[in-house]
Amino acid sequence: MKILKICVGTCCHLLGSYELVDKLNEMDAQRLYDVKIELTTCINSCQSKSAQPPYAEFNGKIIENANIDKILNCITAT
């Protein structure tokens, strides 16, 4: 089971990270069959000046400016 962490810290939540969780939960289970979605508090990626929230993390890889496409691409690539 691989773990997809979606940050729902204040900064990411403000920019709609929970919408990602919602959409992923509604999606076709086949693409996400061995992926467990976890909600996490701030993963400290947003602290830098050039940060691009919302953030997600898959298999230790940080996804910035996360959207459904980026997350699915990352899952397919690993």
Q: Which is nearer to other proteins, 42 or 77 (CB)?
A: 42
Figure out which of the listed residues 47, 60, 69, 76 binds other proteins, where binding follows CB under 8 A. Answer: 47
HEC readout, 25-57: HHCCHHHHCCEEEEEECCCCHHHCCCCCCCCEE
- Rounded to 5°, angle at Cα 59 from 9 and 3: 65
Taking the complex as a whole, the smallest distance from the CB of residue 78 to other proteins amounts, in Å, to 26
Q: Compare residues 14 and 78 and give the one whose CB is closer to other proteins.
A: 14
Residues 13, 66: Cα–Cα separation, whole Å: 12
* Residues contributing to the site for other proteins (CB under 8 A): 8-11, 13-16, 18-19, 22, 39, 41-42, 46-47
